[in-house]
Amino acid sequence: MKPERLRMSAAEEVRLLEKLRTWGTAPIPVPPQDETLRNKSILTLRTAILEGQKQRRDAKIRRQLGRGLAGLAGLAAIAAFTLWLPNDSAPSELSTPSSAAMPSEEEERHAQLSGSGTLKGPGGRAEAVKEGVALYPGERVRAGEKGAQVHTQTTRVLVEPNAVVALTELTPLAEEWAIDRGTARFSVDPERRKHVTVITGDTRVEVVGTEFAVATEGSSEARADGHAQTAVSVQKGRVTVRHDGLVYVLGPGDRWESAPKVDPRPTSTPASRDASRTANRRDIVETKASKTTKVRTSDVSTTLALENRLFHEAIILRNSGHNAEASRAFAGFIARFPNSALRADAERELKRLRSSH
């Protein structure tokens, strides 16, 4: 069923179109806004804006404060490290006898020392010696009943009870020790290649990297008169002993002892002449035997001295950078002394020099 067409006159159609045009252009009716609601909305918006600005300002302040605290922490760390560094320029009472006050380093070192013996510096001030304390040149250690242990960067020394040991010289290339009484056991670091010397009276023990013990008997007066006796025993490596112009090279397990000088025999009196004739005959026999032994020992010692001199000349050439001359010197040494106790060292040095070419 089709809808019936609306029938209207032309005038009615014109009036309908006019109404439609008027409605399309007319404004939308808006209810009037309440003034209280408007002010409340504006206040809420202003509060939100101010809160956001405050949060951004607080965040900026916190960032700046964090940077400041980090900078202060860095400065504090630098200051603490600077205070921790040792003060090498401070004067030392051990090296300056006339100084009235102890430097801070010496105060700390003195406070750490314990009663294993006494340590005396060049100024004559005595203090307790600590186990494992580092010695400076001119200091002397008098061990107590428990002994003492001292050291340098190269050498560790175990001082047996009631022994007296002094560090007389210390340089980058060498150090020298002196034993006044008793026994001291030395352990020298071979990696540092430092020449270490131990002196007891008229005996010198020279070494570069080994373990050995040196003992002396008798007082300082006895050593001055030649009556003291020195004994050297080697546990590891090799040492050179110089005594009365002779040179002895000792290896692991070897032991050497010096013989004290004998006082001149007193003049016999008529009453003791008969009693001394038998002793004189015995002395003649012992003198002949000792002369024979002394000649043989002197021959061996001369050979050892030559071996030691040639070996050290090769070492000097190597240390001075003349590798070619040092190689020839070590090769000649091995060919000339095939049974020398220093042959293994010479072969090792020769191999090292040839591998460096």
- How confident is the model over 337-351, as pLDDT tens digits? 888 888 888 898 899
Long-range CB contacts (within 8 A, 24+) of 314-322? 314/346, 314/349, 315/349, 318/349, 318/353
Are the CB atoms for 236 and 211 separated by under 8 Å? Answer: yes
Average pLDDT over residues 121-137: 60
Global pTM reads 0.42
Q: pLDDT tens across 23-51, in order? A: 656 565 555 556 777 777 777 777 877 78
Q: What is the mean pLDDT of the chain?
A: 71
pLDDT at residue 266 tops 60: no
Residue 223 pLDDT greater than 60, yes or no: no
What stretches of the chain show up as alpha helix (H) in DSSP?
Answer: 10-25, 35-84, 104-112, 220-224, 270-319, 323-336, 343-356
Give the Å distances, CA to CA, from 60 to 4, 40, 64, 232.
78, 31, 6, 78
Residues comprising the chain, all counted: 357
Of the candidates 337, 313, 335, the residue with the CA atom closest to the CA atom of residue 326: 313
Q: How many CB atoms lie within 10 A of CB 222?
A: 15
What are the φ/ψ torsions at residue 243 (nearest 5 degrees)? Answer: -150, 125
Q: What is the CA radius of gyration of the chain?
A: 49
φ, ψ of residue 155 to 5 degrees: the values are -125, 135
Contacting residues for 183 by C-beta, under 8 A, at least 6 apart: 160, 163, 213, 214, 215, 216
Domains of the chain: 104-261 (2.60.120.1440), 305-356 (no CATH)
pLDDT in tens, 278-300: 555 555 444 444 443 333 444 54
d(CA 292, CA 350): 38
